[in-house]
Amino acid sequence: MTREAELRRLLAEVFRWTYLKNLTTTMGGNASVRLDEETILITPSGMPKHMIKPANIVKMKLDGTVQGPGKPSSEWRMHVEIYKTRDDVRAVLHVHSPHVIALYEAGYKLDIDIVELKAYVGPTIPEVGYLTPGSQELAEAVARALRPRNVNAVILRGHGIVTVGSNIFEALNRAEVIDQAAYITILRNMLTGEK
Protein backbone atom coordinates (compact mmCIF):
# COMPACT_ATOMS: atom_id res chain seq x y z
CA MET A 1 0.00 0.00 0.00
CA THR A 2 1.39 3.42 -0.94
CA ARG A 3 1.75 6.14 1.70
CA GLU A 4 -1.11 8.08 0.08
CA ALA A 5 -3.40 5.02 0.12
CA GLU A 6 -2.56 4.38 3.77
CA LEU A 7 -3.22 8.03 4.73
CA ARG A 8 -6.56 7.98 2.86
CA ARG A 9 -7.57 4.84 4.74
CA LEU A 10 -6.56 6.30 8.14
CA LEU A 11 -8.30 9.61 7.51
CA ALA A 12 -11.59 7.95 6.52
CA GLU A 13 -11.40 5.62 9.54
CA VAL A 14 -10.49 8.26 12.12
CA PHE A 15 -13.13 10.65 10.82
CA ARG A 16 -15.77 7.92 11.24
CA TRP A 17 -14.67 7.56 14.86
CA THR A 18 -15.26 11.27 15.54
CA TYR A 19 -18.90 10.65 14.65
CA LEU A 20 -19.17 7.41 16.64
CA LYS A 21 -17.66 9.15 19.67
CA ASN A 22 -20.26 11.94 19.53
CA LEU A 23 -17.66 14.58 18.84
CA THR A 24 -19.75 15.86 15.95
CA THR A 25 -22.83 15.21 13.82
CA THR A 26 -23.33 13.22 10.61
CA MET A 27 -22.52 16.14 8.31
CA GLY A 28 -20.42 18.30 10.66
CA GLY A 29 -16.68 18.58 11.12
CA ASN A 30 -13.73 17.87 8.84
CA ALA A 31 -10.21 16.48 8.92
CA SER A 32 -7.03 16.49 6.87
CA VAL A 33 -3.48 15.15 6.76
CA ARG A 34 -0.37 16.50 5.06
CA LEU A 35 0.79 14.37 2.12
CA ASP A 36 3.89 16.47 1.36
CA GLU A 37 5.05 20.07 1.81
CA GLU A 38 2.56 21.39 -0.77
CA THR A 39 -0.25 18.82 -0.75
CA ILE A 40 -2.92 17.69 1.72
CA LEU A 41 -5.64 15.04 1.82
CA ILE A 42 -8.95 16.36 3.20
CA THR A 43 -12.42 14.98 3.90
CA PRO A 44 -15.04 15.72 1.21
CA SER A 45 -17.89 18.21 1.40
CA GLY A 46 -21.49 17.13 1.99
CA MET A 47 -21.02 13.42 2.70
CA PRO A 48 -22.15 11.53 5.83
CA LYS A 49 -18.90 10.94 7.69
CA HIS A 50 -19.54 7.30 8.53
CA MET A 51 -19.84 6.56 4.80
CA ILE A 52 -16.64 8.22 3.63
CA LYS A 53 -14.36 5.78 1.81
CA PRO A 54 -10.63 6.26 1.13
CA ALA A 55 -11.44 7.05 -2.53
CA ASN A 56 -13.74 9.94 -1.44
CA ILE A 57 -10.89 11.78 0.30
CA VAL A 58 -9.93 14.86 -1.73
CA LYS A 59 -6.35 15.76 -2.65
CA MET A 60 -5.53 19.47 -2.87
CA LYS A 61 -2.56 21.83 -3.02
CA LEU A 62 -1.98 24.50 -0.38
CA ASP A 63 -2.72 27.12 -3.08
CA GLY A 64 -6.33 25.83 -3.10
CA THR A 65 -6.12 23.81 -6.32
CA VAL A 66 -8.00 20.49 -6.17
CA GLN A 67 -6.10 17.52 -7.63
CA GLY A 68 -8.39 14.88 -9.09
CA PRO A 69 -12.03 14.12 -8.23
CA GLY A 70 -14.19 15.36 -5.36
CA LYS A 71 -15.09 18.59 -3.61
CA PRO A 72 -13.13 19.45 -0.44
CA SER A 73 -14.76 20.29 2.90
CA SER A 74 -16.21 23.80 3.07
CA GLU A 75 -13.61 24.51 5.78
CA TRP A 76 -10.65 23.75 3.44
CA ARG A 77 -9.38 27.33 3.81
CA MET A 78 -8.89 26.79 7.55
CA HIS A 79 -6.89 23.59 6.96
CA VAL A 80 -4.74 25.22 4.26
CA GLU A 81 -3.95 28.31 6.39
CA ILE A 82 -2.91 26.11 9.33
CA TYR A 83 -0.52 24.01 7.19
CA LYS A 84 0.93 27.19 5.66
CA THR A 85 1.49 28.66 9.15
CA ARG A 86 2.87 25.53 10.87
CA ASP A 87 5.30 23.35 8.91
CA ASP A 88 5.42 20.91 11.86
CA VAL A 89 1.69 20.11 11.60
CA ARG A 90 0.84 16.84 9.81
CA ALA A 91 -2.87 16.54 10.69
CA VAL A 92 -5.81 18.88 11.42
CA LEU A 93 -9.15 17.89 12.94
CA HIS A 94 -12.22 20.11 13.36
CA VAL A 95 -15.23 18.89 15.35
CA HIS A 96 -18.32 20.47 16.92
CA SER A 97 -17.76 19.17 20.46
CA PRO A 98 -21.09 19.78 22.27
CA HIS A 99 -19.49 19.87 25.74
CA VAL A 100 -16.95 22.52 24.76
CA ILE A 101 -19.57 24.68 23.04
CA ALA A 102 -21.93 24.44 26.05
CA LEU A 103 -19.14 25.18 28.56
CA TYR A 104 -17.90 28.31 26.80
CA GLU A 105 -21.32 29.65 25.82
CA ALA A 106 -22.35 29.34 29.50
CA GLY A 107 -19.41 31.56 30.41
CA TYR A 108 -16.98 28.93 31.72
CA LYS A 109 -13.58 27.87 30.42
CA LEU A 110 -11.59 24.64 30.29
CA ASP A 111 -9.56 23.99 33.44
CA ILE A 112 -6.02 23.59 32.04
CA ASP A 113 -4.97 21.86 35.29
CA ILE A 114 -6.97 18.75 34.35
CA VAL A 115 -4.06 16.29 34.05
CA GLU A 116 -4.70 14.90 30.56
CA LEU A 117 -5.34 18.34 29.14
CA LYS A 118 -1.98 19.71 30.20
CA ALA A 119 -0.16 16.48 29.26
CA TYR A 120 -1.61 15.97 25.79
CA VAL A 121 -2.77 19.37 24.58
CA GLY A 122 -0.31 21.86 26.08
CA PRO A 123 -0.12 24.85 28.39
CA THR A 124 -2.69 27.03 26.64
CA ILE A 125 -5.79 26.70 24.44
CA PRO A 126 -6.63 30.04 22.80
CA GLU A 127 -10.15 31.13 21.79
CA VAL A 128 -11.33 32.63 18.51
CA GLY A 129 -14.57 34.62 18.56
CA TYR A 130 -17.50 33.53 16.38
CA LEU A 131 -16.76 33.99 12.67
CA THR A 132 -18.69 32.61 9.69
CA PRO A 133 -17.90 28.91 9.11
CA GLY A 134 -15.96 28.36 5.88
CA SER A 135 -14.81 31.99 5.67
CA GLN A 136 -11.27 33.15 4.94
CA GLU A 137 -11.60 35.37 8.01
CA LEU A 138 -12.13 32.31 10.25
CA ALA A 139 -9.29 30.45 8.49
CA GLU A 140 -6.81 33.27 9.16
CA ALA A 141 -7.94 33.81 12.78
CA VAL A 142 -7.49 30.11 13.60
CA ALA A 143 -4.07 29.94 11.88
CA ARG A 144 -2.97 33.06 13.81
CA ALA A 145 -4.04 31.48 17.12
CA LEU A 146 -2.04 28.35 16.25
CA ARG A 147 1.14 30.24 15.33
CA PRO A 148 3.01 29.49 18.62
CA ARG A 149 4.38 25.95 18.37
CA ASN A 150 3.21 24.99 21.84
CA VAL A 151 -0.44 25.65 20.84
CA ASN A 152 -2.14 22.48 19.60
CA ALA A 153 -5.83 23.37 19.84
CA VAL A 154 -8.15 26.34 19.42
CA ILE A 155 -11.67 26.93 20.74
CA LEU A 156 -14.03 28.31 18.06
CA ARG A 157 -16.65 30.15 20.09
CA GLY A 158 -20.19 28.94 19.40
CA HIS A 159 -18.87 26.46 16.84
CA GLY A 160 -16.38 23.82 18.11
CA ILE A 161 -12.69 23.06 18.28
CA VAL A 162 -9.69 22.62 16.00
CA THR A 163 -6.81 20.35 16.99
CA VAL A 164 -3.52 19.70 15.21
CA GLY A 165 -0.91 16.97 15.53
CA SER A 166 2.12 15.22 14.08
CA ASN A 167 -0.34 12.54 12.89
CA ILE A 168 -4.13 12.07 12.78
CA PHE A 169 -4.21 10.01 15.99
CA GLU A 170 -2.53 12.79 17.96
CA ALA A 171 -5.09 15.30 16.62
CA LEU A 172 -7.95 12.88 17.46
CA ASN A 173 -6.64 12.23 20.98
CA ARG A 174 -6.39 15.97 21.62
CA ALA A 175 -10.00 16.48 20.52
CA GLU A 176 -11.14 13.63 22.79
CA VAL A 177 -9.14 14.96 25.76
CA ILE A 178 -10.59 18.46 25.31
CA ASP A 179 -14.15 17.16 24.97
CA GLN A 180 -13.70 14.97 28.05
CA ALA A 181 -12.15 17.83 30.09
CA ALA A 182 -15.14 20.02 29.17
CA TYR A 183 -17.50 17.23 30.28
CA ILE A 184 -15.61 16.81 33.58
CA THR A 185 -15.78 20.56 34.20
CA ILE A 186 -19.53 20.64 33.51
CA LEU A 187 -20.16 17.68 35.86
CA ARG A 188 -17.92 19.16 38.57
CA ASN A 189 -19.66 22.53 38.37
CA MET A 190 -23.06 20.83 38.53
CA LEU A 191 -22.07 18.74 41.57
CA THR A 192 -20.42 21.55 43.50
CA GLY A 193 -22.61 24.41 42.34
CA GLU A 194 -19.34 26.16 41.52
CA LYS A 195 -19.38 29.21 39.34
- What's the residue count for the chain? 195
Closer residue to Zn ion in complex, CB, 54/133: 133
* Binding interface with Zn ion (CB under 5 A): 133
Question: If you write DSSP's letter for every residue of 112-128 in order, what string do you get?
Answer: TTSHHIIIII-S---EE
Q: Which is nearer to Zn ion, 122 or 133 (CB)?
A: 133
CB of 78 to Zn ion, least distance (A): 9
Q: Is there a catalytic annotation at residue 176?
A: no
Burial of 66 (0-12, 13-18, 19+ CB in 10 A): middle
Nearer to Zn ion by Cβ, of 73 and 114: the residue is: 73
- Based on CB atoms, which residue is closest to Zn ion, 64 or 158? 158
Smallest distance, Å, CB 142 to Zn ion? Answer: 11
* Contact assessment for residue 43 and residue 73, using Cβ atoms and an 8 Å cutoff: yes
Name the minimum Å distance from CB 149 to Zn ion.
24
Helix (H, G, I), strand (E, B) or coil at 153: strand
Q: Which of 4, 13, 75, 194 is catalytic?
A: 75
* CB-based contacts of 61, cutoff 8 Å, min separation 6: 38, 39, 67
Element (H, E) at 161: strand 160-165
Q: How far is the CB of 97 from Zn ion (least distance, A)?
A: 10
- Which sequence positions are flagged as catalytic? 75
